Amino acid sequence: MKSRTGMALAAVIALVGTAWAGADSTNQAPAQFRLEFDLVDGSRIIGVPDIASMPVQTAYAKMDIPLGNISAIAIGEDHETASFELRNGDQLKGVLALEPIMLATVFGRVPIGIEHIRKLRVVMAGSAGSEVWTSPTTGMEFVWIAQMNMWVGKVEVTNGEYRKKEAGHDSKSHDSHSLNGDRQPVVFVNFDDAKAYAAWLSERDKAQLDGKRYRLPSEQEFMTYVQCGDGREYPWGNNWPPRSGQAGNYHGQEGVGGVEKLSGYNDEFPVTAQVDHLWRNPWGLCGVGGNVWEACASDSSGGSFGAWRGASWGPESQNALRCAYRNVGCGSSRNHSCGFRLVLSP
């Protein structure tokens, strides 16, 4: 523990604007943001950056974009060109003039040069999506949604996680594409199967849950996290059609079969997608729209069926892709496009 004198000295140094290079220098970084880097070698690193904006030269202007306006940046293979996804839905291309970013990580301070970066995402620290709970039994991740005062499953429950309870479960295949991979969402489960799984996992993780339990979300809770607090029409925003790579897994041009496909959209997943590969919404949740219809309860007791929500990878109408659309098909049916996501709450 640092002495009072040390703390006073640090305060003085900070006051006179001198760089403080001691062990606590990470505290000087703009800690309201965290950056998540996907690196060229396949590794991932998370930390607090020492910058508050990104300098970019576009075809028409030189700009300095505050991190708070940025959702993600993909870096081209030339290690220079960058595609920005902004939080308001705008897209921007340009050249990044970037010194290595100093990142305060759990390993200490690490410089990350642009040549190592494939993609980076900006997460607002302390906001939804920045804190994760991991189920000890399954490894399933839940993100803290402060606006809801509860944890929501980051992704849909997968075949691998479901088979920890039902070892023989088979999610089958569709048109010779497997639906049964460990990281694909479990399908051929109904509302009662999902409810039983939540109860089983609550029992298995009980010692760590501190009185909380896993359950199915209510339809109202689903509406809150699919709209991310801004009343959006569709899970990705208000634009129609969605932009490729910036929505979920729907029946795009890559879809199988002769049924009409989403115009101008290609998500590269002909059937269910591995849940980790899906577009992430502003609250840090993947696949809330598309991939599989998710079983929701009528209220937050999680006890009785409300509706299937969020649409799927299969052919759906434009209306069915809206956040508010309720698929009130039978809760006891099992098929290739219906699965579920869990929440964790008191």
Instruction: Give the footprint of Ca ion on this chain (CB under 5 A).
Output: 249, 252, 267, 269, 313
Residue 292, classified by CB atoms within 10 Å of its CB into exposed (0-12), middle (13-18) or buried (19+), is: buried
Cβ contact 210:302 at 8 Å: no
Smaller CB distance to Ca ion: residue 122 or 278?
278
Nearest distance, CB of residue 181 and Ca ion, angstroms: 15
Smaller CB distance to Ca ion: residue 163 or 277?
277
Smaller CB distance to Ca ion: residue 133 or 308?
308
The torsion defined by the Cα of 265, 266, 270 and 276, in degrees rounded to 10, comes to: -110
Nearest distance, CB of residue 158 and Ca ion, angstroms: 17
- Tokens 């634009």 locate to 239
The torsion defined by the Cα of 253, 328, 171 and 261, in degrees rounded to 10, comes to: -10
Tokens of 287: 């696949």
Smaller CB distance to Ca ion: residue 142 or 313?
313
CB atoms within 10 A of CB 88: 8
Smaller CB distance to Ca ion: residue 151 or 269?
269
Nearest distance, CB of residue 176 and Ca ion, angstroms: 16
Residue with the closest Cβ to Ca ion?
A: 269
Smaller CB distance to Ca ion: residue 57 or 274?
274
Cβ contact 255:268 at 8 Å: no
- Label each residue of 84-127 as H, E or C: EEECCCCEEEEEECCCCEEEEECCEEEEECHHHEEEEEEEECCC
In Å, how far from its chain's centre is CA 81? 25
Nearest distance, CB of residue 290 and Ca ion, angstroms: 7
- Print burial letters for 45-80: b (CB count within 10 Å at least 16), e (below 16): bebbbbbeebebeeeeeeeebebeebbbbbbeeeee
Smaller CB distance to Ca ion: residue 22 or 245?
245
Nearest distance, CB of residue 330 and Ca ion, angstroms: 24
Tell me the C-alpha to C-alpha distance, in Å, between residue 44 and each of 37, 119, 304: 5, 10, 40
Nearest distance, CB of residue 249 and Ca ion, angstroms: 4
Distance between CA atoms of residues 50 and 104, nearest Å: 8
Nearest distance, CB of residue 291 and Ca ion, angstroms: 8
Cβ contact 162:156 at 8 Å: no
Nearest distance, CB of residue 271 and Ca ion, angstroms: 7
Helices (H), 132-274: 159-162, 191-204, 206-209, 219-227
Nearest distance, CB of residue 93 and Ca ion, angstroms: 25
Smaller CB distance to Ca ion: residue 76 or 245?
245
Smaller CB distance to Ca ion: residue 156 or 267?
267
